[in-house]
Amino acid sequence: MVETRAFERRGDPNVAVLLTWFLPGAGHLYLGRVRSALACFVALEGLYLLGWWLTGGRTFEYLDPELQGPFATLLTPEAGNLGALLMHLKVSGFGAGEPVPFPPQAVLGCMLSALSGILNLFAACHAHVAARESRPGSALHPVWPLVAGWAVPGLGHWLQGRRLRAVIVFTLLVGLFLLGSWLAGGTNLSRERHFYYWSGQFLLGLPAIVAELVAGDARVSAELPRLDVGLLYASMAGLLNVLALLDVFGVAEKRRLEASRVAPGVVSA
């Protein structure tokens, strides 16, 4: 029988997650991991600030005036980096309401600030696991398959050796996204046109990002009778990827924590 060491906590995992949500790196600092804390803070806040600078702080001016309110931005990827989002709203808000053209790099800027929010959620997952493992486990850290599964749907499963599931997830979700984009005439790829649907499909990772960079400024020259279906499909592809990510994280977390708890060389009868 393999004996396991007593389960030692470095800190409360939920506190670490909440701190990270409000300020990237704060959860790691709470756990005594100073280098990780600094890396998270600099990278994620830097990403948000770069996005803010490129958009001129005007990301939330994309929202229709009737939707602009204190809770309107909570359904955006930026909400993953809550402190930066609140600062953004405090400083720039929803703009002056005057019809001024958006900066040329606004699309890239929006992506970077959204990316900061998503990556901070992964940092929070990292802090949650770090708080619970008594020592670094030998298995792959659960955050890496999670990041991979966000970037390319199914890649997280593939890295875990669950190849059939990986192929099915990729085919299903990317297929749904492409079908939706086709039905919507590519208009779903513009955050300015469809703010909330865009937030959903951003959860699909690189397929959505690359598609937007390549065909994000689609011209509409005819009626799109299946626009609603297209928007729904593309957004649902991103939302369903969250289910896939939860599946990946559950398995990876179990493997990591088991590897962390079993101490080598303490085998008893």
Partner 1 sequence: MRLAEHLGFFLVLALAIVVMSAFFSEAEDGPALRSLPRRYGVFVGACALVAAVMLVLERLFLTLD
DSSP category for residue 63:
S
Helix (H, G, I), strand (E, B) or coil at 221: coil
Which residue from 166, 205, 201, 170 is spatially nearest to 186, judged by alpha carbons?
201
Residue with Cβ nearer partner 1 (62 or 249): 249
User: What's the closest the beta carbon of residue 229 comes to partner 1, in angstroms?
Assistant: 5
Residues in the chain: 269
Q: x/- string (CB under 8 A) for partner 1, residues 129-168? A: ---------------------------------x-xx--x
Residue with Cβ nearer partner 1 (100 or 246): 246
User: What's the closest the beta carbon of residue 103 comes to partner 1, in angstroms?
Assistant: 36
Q: Under 8 Å CB-to-CB from 212, ≥6 apart: which residues?
A: 107, 111, 189, 190
> Is residue 125 a contact point for partner 1 (CB under 8 A)?
no
Provide the token pair at 269: 């009868």
Q: Phi-psi region for residue 222, left (φ > 0), alpha (ψ -120 to 50) or beta?
A: beta
**Residue for token pair 């875990």:** 160
> Is residue 192 a contact point for partner 1 (CB under 8 A)?
no
Residue from 31, 114, 189, 232 in contact with partner 1 (CB under 8 A): 232
What angle do helix axes 227-261 and 163-183 make, rounded to 10 degrees?
A: 160
> Is residue 176 a contact point for partner 1 (CB under 8 A)?
yes
Residue with Cβ nearer partner 1 (132 or 162): 162
Stretch that binds partner 1, among 37-45, 48-56, 128-136, 232-240 (CB under 8 A): 232-240
Residue type, 229: V
